Chain A
Amino acid sequence: MAEFKVVILPHGYPSVAIEREVVQGAGGELVDGDTFPDEPAALRAAEEADAVIVRWTKVTPEVIARLKRCRIIVRYGIGYDNVDYASALAAGIMIGHCPTYCVDEVATHTLALLLACVRDIVNTHIKVAGGGWTDNPSARQWRMAGRTLGLIGLGNIGRCMATKLRGWGLRVLATDPFVEPEQAVAVGAQLVEFRTLCREANYICVHAPLLPETHHLVGREALAAMKEGVILVNTARGPLLDEAALLEALDAGKVAAAGLDVFEREPLAQDSPLRSHPRLVLSDHAAWYSENSLAELKRSVAEDAVRVCTGRLPLAIAYPEVLHKLGRFNEWKPNSNAVWQMKRAAKLRSER
């Protein structure tokens, strides 16, 4: 008889061998959600779980109400916006995630999309592969040096971006309500107000989490404040960017080009005008991927589920205020990422 049960909700990965090895190695039972005929069946199995691991399933208040013994819901990824925080907190369930597993991949992918926009890589390739050659080469290509790049969000990924931008002759601005100016300076960036960043940056990359207060952060108003010919990249979460406003700004020439890895609705609708826009460089929520990052994600998520099932705290916890409710706040040793979370928790409390 296993000592605890971990249920993975339907995930779509080719295998959960790493998760199984970790959970069984600690004396637990692993239930693979992809072996059930549908999502409701997997959710029924989760009712008896000590820990639930989730990828895309929406963990709504109704789902949380049915979890009888669950102590942690761990999200496969950095963001956990598909898990209802308020219900989890009320039920005393921790939310886990993996804030460090693909930081380098996402920063690198962001630069790949940005440079593809700045150097017009996709359109020039299509033109040459179709038998064309150069006519007026300078029209849609620019340089990085001497320009200003703005980072919206200076968490793990934003900071990794800043360190990758040191050799390019750029001025780097960052905006983040949870970061101190010295932390920005330490990675070669200057901390400014959101409005200032919008006004001054030639290139803008979004690295913020999706929260109620960041929904459509880059919307009509922000776009209007931006420079003519700005280039945008979003590898964070789709709803941070108002897609309808972006399309208008692209067609008006206000935004010269954009790189999108995430969308307001995923999968992106078959008939979405984003799919055919010539000034967009696209990938389908792929920024996180490398062979190594996938293995690291799976191991780390399973290990945190096991930690909690065996009475310890997870390495990464979203919304640490739940620890107050559980009377375990003093056990918790925050890491640098968690300091960010603490500030957020304090801010949330002060707003109530």
Chain B
Amino acid sequence: MKPKVVVTDYAFPDLSIEQAVLADCELAGRQCKTEVDLLDLCKDADAVITQFARVNANVIAGMARSRVIVRYGIGVDNVDLEAARGRGIPVCNVPDYCIDEVADHTLALILALTRQVVTHTNHLRSGKWGLVGPLANMKALTQLTVGVVGFGRIGREVVRRLAAFKCAIRVFDPFVPAEEIRKAGVQPASLDEVLRAADILTLHCPSTPQTRKIINRDSLAQMKRGAILINVGRGDLADVPALTAALQSGQLGAAALDVFDPEPIPADHPVLKMPNVLLSPHIASASPTAVHKLRTTAAELALRAVRGQPLPNIVNGVPARG
């Protein structure tokens, strides 16, 4: 009997790339929305690939023989890592497929806000001409401080690109030695210092119990009035009601949000109508090259697992089997 690989949900037009890698397997893809869907799909799977669906403890308990849970992406916050470890199921991510894309997208968002790209384009599309105000929204990066939260692969690439714009850069990352941050030519700082110094704050940390809602009423109050928030990390890094209130009150001058909590953004949410908010639909990682590498790598990880080969990229402490 062929091993069975299941895909719980996916934002691609089809699963042809995965099928090509998993030619010797039975591949079943769905768009699971509920725990019942997930339990039904995963119960007899030999490998599970997931994108955004919540693979919680119940779903994991219902897996009779899965040898891996592969996350399409870097973040693994939709998978209960402890529950998987308890069952001895390794959880693997794809850590390196989109570093350049996310860093490029971050700079695109920062520059779109500071140069008012969407405002200008809409102004011209609506038939008008003449510098559209308020002119104070056009900001020179040379005069600003950018705070970077998270100095992993993406944070480092963001800093590399930002350096040439001659802004001051402060970096917070409790897991990276200060020396390593200094070596990149930027100043390490505590979270409080970064919050207070930043004219632009950009988030590049994973969503973990320690970082969830790191942007909340208190941290927003510490920031300079009118500062800009960029979030391409995870929606739940920010407490959405506090974020919304700060954007409404002017405590935050603007925000660019590629991620939200929840996704998609609810149809009646006020951020959809705010002129100082720039939105994109969780696509900072996307490019044809990146998506191809993501899908191929995820499928290869599933294949290695069903063949009993050692697994790279295990993120929940389960020993690699061989």
Contacts and interface: CB of A to CB of B under 8 A. Distances in A.
A138 to B, nearest CB: 4
Contact of A136 (B12, B123, B263, B282): B12
Given A104-B142, A131-B272, A116 B125 contact: no
A141 B102 CA distance: 11
Contacts of A116: 108, 111-112, 117-118, 121
Given A142-B288, A144-B104, A290 B120 contact: no
B161 A168 contact: yes
Given A124-B280, A138-B286, A275-B127, A113 B104 contact: no
Contact of B104 (A118, A125, A268, A284): A118
Contacts of A122: 117-118, 121
A105 B115 CA distance: 9
Contacts of B104: 115, 118-119, 143-145, 168
Contacts of A284: 120, 123-124, 128-132
A350 interface: no
A134 B283 contact: yes
B1 interface: no
Contacts of B123: 284
A116 B135 CA distance: 20
A121 B125 contact: no
Nearest to B102: A143
B283 A141 contact: yes
Contacts of B128: 284
A292 B265 CA distance: 38
B165 A121 contact: no
Contact of B164 (A113, A141, A164, A293): A164
Contact of A167 (B111, B115, B161, B278): B161
Contact of B112 (A115, A136, A139, A290): A115
B117 A281 contact: yes
B100 A169 contact: yes
B183 interface: no
Nearest to A164: B164
A121 B108 contact: yes
B160 interface: yes
B105 interface: yes
B273 interface: yes
Contacts of B116: 283, 286
Given A115-B112, A131-B267, A289 B273 contact: no
Contacts of A139: 288
A268 B140 contact: no
For the complex, would chain B's binding face be called helix, strand, loop or mixed by DSSP majority?
helix
Nearest to B13: A136
B280 A286 contact: no
B209 interface: no
Nearest to A14: B135
B111 A111 contact: yes
A311 interface: no
Contacts of B83: none
Interface residues of B, number: 62
A281 B140 CA distance: 20
A138 B291 contact: yes
B112 A166 contact: no
A25 interface: no
Interface in B241-296: 263-265, 267, 272-273, 278-283, 286-291
Contact of B272 (A129, A168, A289): A129
Interface string A107-119: 0110111011011
A289 B135 contact: yes
B288 A119 contact: no
Contacts of A128: 265, 272, 279-281
B163 interface: yes
A266 to B, nearest CB: 8
Contacts of B23: none
B263 A133 contact: yes
A108 B140 CA distance: 9
B141 interface: yes
Contacts of B286: 137-138, 141
A108 B112 CA distance: 10
B138 interface: yes
B280 A121 contact: yes
B30 to A, nearest CB: 17
A105 B121 contact: no
B36 interface: no
12 contacts: A104-B140, A108-B111, A109-B115, A116-B111, A118-B108, A128-B279, A138-B287, A142-B287, A142-B288, A268-B124, A284-B132, A293-B140
Name the 3 nearest CB pairs between A and B, nearest first.
Answer: A115-B108, A283-B120, A112-B111
Interface of A: 104-105, 108-109, 111-113, 115-116, 118-119, 121-122, 124-125, 127-139, 141-145, 163-169, 266-268, 270, 275-276, 280-284, 286, 289-293
